[in-house]
Amino acid sequence: MAQALRPERNNKRAKCRLPPGPTPLPIIGNILQLGKQPHKSLSKLAEIHGPIMSLKLGQMTTIIVSSVEMAKQVLQTRDHLLSNRSVPHAMTGQNHHEFSLPFMATTPRWRFLRKICNNLLFSGKILDTTQKRRREKMQEFLARIYQSSLTGEAMEIGRSAFMTIVNMLSNSICSLDLVHFNTVNEFKELESDVMEDVGRPNLADYFPVLKLADPLGIKRRVDVHFGKMLKITHGLVKHRLQMRQETTYGADRDMLDGLLRISEENSRQLNDTMIERLLMDLFLAGSDTTTSTLEWAMTELVRNPEAMSKAKAELGNTVGKGNLVEESDMDRLPYLQSVLKESFRLHPVVPFLLPRRADVDVEICGYVIPKGAQVLVNIWAIGRDPSIWDEPNVFRAERFLGSEIDVKGRHFELIPFGAGRRICPGLALAMKMLVLILGSLINSFDWKLEDGMVPEDMDMEDKFGIAMEKAQPLRAVPVSLRN
Ligand code: HEM
């Protein structure tokens, strides 16, 4: 049974100790050991200190778990004691921590927000209704790629897909394109900067006394970025409110209408500000994560021509070469699904999940996670653990063929969307978009590297952030399969 150490059992606490870890330096503790790529440095440290480690980051005790068994303890067995978040100081920009679904405590309001997101956006029925709109966005994307293929120039896959992904999301949520050619670059910079800043090690988190000074300026920057994004979502809500005033408007059309209807019926439960904040959260949580995953999967396919051929052959046999892939084709495409799983294993875009916090002292395998400590699950380390995966650094989609491992938070070897109460609610939507986009990209085009570059020369480094991007964008030349 899950154990919180109650006061009357303090004798037990005496027997439990902090997990092992590297010796901290005075004052700064282990901050220097994080380096520029904390997912990698912490994986190395785990090889020395074990699958549950404690580090002192300034004044903040951080527990890092790096094995399947320990991840299961945190996200399943002790989930109810560890499901609140440790909130990065950056998230307090525009006071967003008070509204943010991903970072709020597991209060009734959090439960309510997750419920309305499920009812209005993520349920199977709604996803079926909105798939037509995502299909249209995919067709537009394919038409743009076709135009590029005529010039023979390389495309930046991630950047080009980003516009499609944001607009797939915005069409699923509020039936319009959020970004256009002239605004997409600015929006992308905004999102990437927020993701980098929120994930970046921050002195203000490690030394609470520095919060006001914000020495690295991270909160100030995020404050500006959030301000710009909230202006956009405020505009969306205001415009829709005006439309709803018109007598001819008719029945609710989408999630935004559903949200506004709830707020009209009970503004204490949900008001316009909360809706604007929720829309920002959904765009932020859904677009960079899905884009980076797509870019990594395409990168691995371009780098592994044999896997590309197999994925193409499967699509040719099921969907028909050159045809648009449908979200509903997913179950008929086990190899393509395995390619996505293998990409998630090697390149989990949220490498530590979102940070958890211990509400009370929590015992795990004879160690204590002290009340208030931050808990990180290093799924990057789990994905490359040689005791689980044969040749862990090799991309081999076949390892998932016929395997029961899925990404739904039940198999702790592969949890790119997390697990337990805080599992990503956008999982099904993300998987549908990924199958639709990745499948269509490779079923309609061949992809070549530019300037005679060979797959072995491709740069595979990542750039750490709360959503981890490829450091060097993938550039590839589309070759149309149309006769
Ligand atoms: C490949 C794409 C995606 C990945 C890899 C991903 C991954 C994650 C992860 C790891 C978490 C934290 C889970 C935990 O702490 O255990 C999370 C939370 C969340 N994700 Fe996603 N996500 C993706 C797409 C989406 C999409 C498309 C949406 C919505 C449009 C979304 C909305 C959210 C929200 C709202 C949360 C916070 C849930 C909570 O704290 O209760 N995500 N996601």
List all residues whose CB is within 6 A of at least one atom of ligand 1. Answer: 101-102, 114, 169, 281-282, 285-286, 289-290, 293, 349-350, 353-354, 416-419, 422-426, 429-430
Per the CB < 8 A criterion, the answer to whether 280 and 235 are in contact is no
Phi, psi (rounded to 5 degrees) for 353? 55, -165
Token pair of 427 as six digits: 């999982």
Distance CA 139, CA 171 (A): 14
Pocket perturbation via mutation, ligand 1, pick of 191, 289, 380, 468 by most ligand atoms within 8 A of CB: 289
Whole-number Å distance, alpha carbon 60 to ligand 1 midpoint, is: 25
How far apart are the C-alpha atoms of 400 and 345, rounded to whole Å?
Answer: 11
- CA 219 – CA 230 distance, rounded (Å): 16
Give the domain CATH number at 189.
1.10.630.10
Ligand 1 centre from 352 Cα, in Å? 12
**What single-letter DSSP state applies at residue 216?**
T
- Residue 306 to residue 392: CA distance in whole angstroms: 18
CB 42 within 8 A of CB 34: yes
Q: Residue 189 has what DSSP assignment? A: H
Give domain status of residue 404, yes or no: yes
pLDDT tens by residue, 17-74: 999 999 999 999 999 999 999 999 999 999 999 999 999 999 999 999 999 999 999 9
Ligand 1 atom showing the smallest separation from residue 344 Cα: 5
Output the CA 61–ligand 1 centroid distance in Å: 25
Q: What is the pLDDT of residue 8?
A: 37
Whole-number Å distance, alpha carbon 290 to ligand 1 midpoint, is 10
Three-state DSSP state, 312: helix
Atom of ligand 1 nearest to the CA of 348: 5
Give buried/exposed letters for 444-454 (b at 16+ CB in 10 A, else e): bbebebeeeee
**Which residue from 287, 344, 417, 470 has its CB within 8 A of the most atoms of ligand 1, so it is best to mutate?**
417
397 CA → ligand 1 middle, Å? 23
Which residues of the chain are under the pLDDT cut of 70? 1-15, 483
- Closest residue by CA, ligand 1 atom 27: 286
The answer to whether residue 2 is domain-embedded is no
- The number of beta carbons lying within 10 Å of the beta carbon of residue 50 is 16
Distance 281 CA to ligand 1 centre (A): 10
In this structure, which residue's CA is closest to atom 6 in ligand 1? 417
Does some domain include residue 422? Answer: yes
- The pLDDT value recorded for residue 483 is 57
Q: Is 302 left (phi over 0), alpha (psi -120 to 50) or beta?
A: alpha
- Give helix 272-303 / helix 181-199 axis angle, nearest 10°: 90
Task: Determine the atom of ligand 1 nearest the C-alpha atom of 114.
Answer: 41
**Residue 431 near residue 293, CB atoms below 8 Å:** no
The pLDDT, as a whole number, for residue 13 is: 52
Give the span between the Cα atoms of 144 and 158, in whole angstroms. 14
CA 179, CA 291: separation in Å to the nearest integer? Answer: 15
Ligand 1 mutation pick, 295, 424, 437, max ligand atoms within 8 A of CB: 424
Q: Whose CA is nearest to atom 8 of ligand 1?
A: 417
Q: Which residues lie across from 63 on neighbouring strands?
A: 54, 375
Q: Ligand 1, atom 43: nearest CA belongs to which residue? A: 424
Structure tokens at 206: 């490690």
pLDDT value at position 482? 75
Please choose, from the candidates 261, 225, 100, 240, the residue with its C-alpha nearest in 3D space to the C-alpha of residue 170.
Answer: 240
User: For residue range 222-272, what is the model confidence (pLDDT) as tens digits?
Assistant: 999 999 999 999 999 999 999 999 989 989 999 999 999 999 999 999 999
User: Is residue 1 assigned to a domain?
Assistant: no
Cα 20 from Cα 46, distance rounded (Å): 10
Rounded Cα gap, residues 30 and 20, in angstroms:
13
Range(s) of the domain holding residue 314: 7-480
Whole-number Å distance, alpha carbon 73 to ligand 1 midpoint, is 20
Domain membership flag for residue 75: yes
**Token pair for 457:** 């020369």
Which residue lies with its CA nearest to atom 15 of ligand 1? 354
- DSSP H or E stretch at residue 430: helix 427-444
Segment 241-247 long-range contacts (CB within 8 Å, at least 24 positions apart): 241/272
Q: Helix, strand, or coil here: 363?
A: strand
Q: How many domains does the chain have?
A: 1
Q: In this structure, is residue 183 part of a structural domain?
A: yes
Q: What pLDDT score does 185 carry? A: 85
Give first-to-last CA distance, the chain, whole Å: 63
Say how many Å lie between the CA of residue 423 and the centre of ligand 1: 7
Going by the DSSP 8-state scheme, the letter that residue 29 receives in this structure is B
> DSSP letter string over 223-245?
HHHHHHHHHHHHHHHHHHHHHHH
CA pair distance 335, 155, nearest whole angstrom:
25
Per-residue pLDDT at 10: 45
Nearest to 429 by CA among 238, 249, 285: 285
In 3D space, the residue among 168, 176, 187 whose CA is nearest the CA of residue 228 turns out to be 187
